[in-house]
Amino acid sequence: MKIQKNFTTGILSGICGVLLLFVITGSTTRETTNVTPIYEFYDLKTTEGIIFNKVTGEIKYEEIRKESLDMREYYTIDLNHSGYILEN
């Protein structure tokens, strides 16, 4: 009788231990999520920018600055140092 009681207690303890292990590992595993962005942003170099939602296809124009960018400031060309050698 004592051997049967110890055997039953051991089996029940083992089952409880395995269930507890499943609960612990199930609660600590992280789910993998899709981390690709659903929005894309395009700067129009004016006062606006385009926000594009990849999922729904929605396009929104948002004001991102108060004044337009001066494009001459960003695209200057120095003709004296353009890589060409001038021969006299």
Q: What is the pLDDT of residue 76?
A: 56
Cα dihedral: 65, 69, 74, 80 (round 10): -150
User: Is the pLDDT confidence value at 60 over 60?
Assistant: yes
In whole angstroms, give the CA distance from residue 52 to residue 37.
11
Higher pLDDT, 13 or 69: 13
- The C-alpha atoms of residue 65 and residue 1 are separated, in whole angstroms, by 85
pLDDT in tens, 5-48: 777 888 888 898 888 888 887 766 566 676 677 889 888 888 88
Q: What's the rounded Cα separation, in Å, for the pair 75 and 19? A: 67
Quick check: 54 pLDDT over 80? yes
Tokens of 53: 């939602």
